[in-house]
Amino acid sequence: MNARQLFNQIREKQSYLCIGLDTDYEKIPKILLDNEYPVFEFNKRIIKATADLAVAYKPNLAFYESLGAAGQMSLEMTVNYLRTHFPEIFIIADAKRGDIGNTSKMYASAFFSNFDFDAVTVAPYMGVDSVKPFLGHPDKWVILLALTSNPGAEDFQFQKLETTGEYLFEKVIRTSALWGNTDNMMYVVGATKAEWLRKIRKIIPDHFLLIPGVGAQGGSLEEVSEAGMNSQCGLLVNASRSIIYADITSNFDEAARSEAMTIQKEMAGYLAKAKLV
């Protein structure tokens, strides 16, 4: 999927919502545990209830890997379910990988060929040869960690550099933007750092940004939308726990839908305000 196709979907659904499938075996309704693959069953019902309100889903791979082969199978079934029933959806492997050429190639093959993900999140610490191998796949994307929403972001991302006086995360964005283009690279920018979005938009006005941290982590959708939206929307705002665990009874999917709809309605307003719909 390229940026224009993603923007078209955003306009059609009047939504730039990404739903994080951080599906924790311990947290899903007990009633699902009779299924052979309860995690997939949970995801399927969440997706069915929300796919007209969201443009992207983002399985967090740690949650699947911690379940071994059954988790791997649940992930595969989730991606296949999305591809079969909702082919317009953008699917992100939240893997935060980052390794050198040979190994990155393996990961790219795992995510883009074995699985049919559209995008994978990548960590920048190892530099250009940890990112480039992901960029050779047509219509597939790298989503590079730039500024994360956790307290530990202060440790290194906010270190100022001697040569240019910019912060490390700014250097990461400025340098890596030259490795790809606006059709194969996005950036993770935490919603808890909305004040930085305007600065980041000056460096990369045209790239899509994936924004976690709205909802359970406390970021403001309004602030993020005002500061980060560009002429093709340019935002995917992620919510995970606040949607998928909105209710823990057997009505969890309806509760998730209601929560997603609240967010989608708010997003429709910001898209209208920006004259994008």
Site of interaction with its own copies (CB under 8 A): 22, 24, 60, 62-63, 65-69, 72-73, 76, 96-104, 106-107, 109-110, 114, 123-131, 145, 148-157, 159-163, 165, 168, 171-172, 175
Residues 6+ apart with CB under 8 A from 118: 1, 90, 91, 92, 139, 140, 141
- The residue among 146, 269, 266 whose CA lies nearest residue 208 is 146
For its own copies, the closer CB: 29 or 212: 212
- For residues 72 and 261, what is the distance between their CA atoms, to the nearest angstrom? 30
Least spacing, CB of residue 137 vs its own copies, in Å: 14
For its own copies, the closer CB: 121 or 225: 121
CB atoms within 10 A of CB 109: 13
Q: Catalytic: 96?
A: yes
Residues 6+ apart with CB under 8 A from 238: 17, 18, 19, 20, 56, 58, 210, 211, 212, 213, 214
- The residue among 194, 274, 197, 256 whose CA lies nearest residue 50 is 256
Least spacing, CB of residue 268 vs its own copies, in Å: 30
* AA identity, residue 194: A
For its own copies, the closer CB: 4 or 174: 174
- For residues 229 and 245, what is the distance between their CA atoms, to the nearest angstrom? 28
Least spacing, CB of residue 194 vs its own copies, in Å: 18
Least spacing, CB of residue 252 vs its own copies, in Å: 19
- For residues 81 and 44, what is the distance between their CA atoms, to the nearest angstrom? 7
For its own copies, the closer CB: 97 or 257: 97
For its own copies, the closer CB: 141 or 169: 169
Active-site position among 48, 96, 132, 199: 96
Compute CA distances 248 → 114, 173, 254, 259, whole Å. 33, 39, 11, 13
- For residues 157 and 183, what is the distance between their CA atoms, to the nearest angstrom? 25
Least spacing, CB of residue 178 vs its own copies, in Å: 11
For its own copies, the closer CB: 7 or 117: 117
Phi and psi for 47 in degrees, rounded to 5? Answer: -65, -50
Least spacing, CB of residue 221 vs its own copies, in Å: 20
| Tokens read off for 172 | 């990461």
> Known catalytic residues?
96
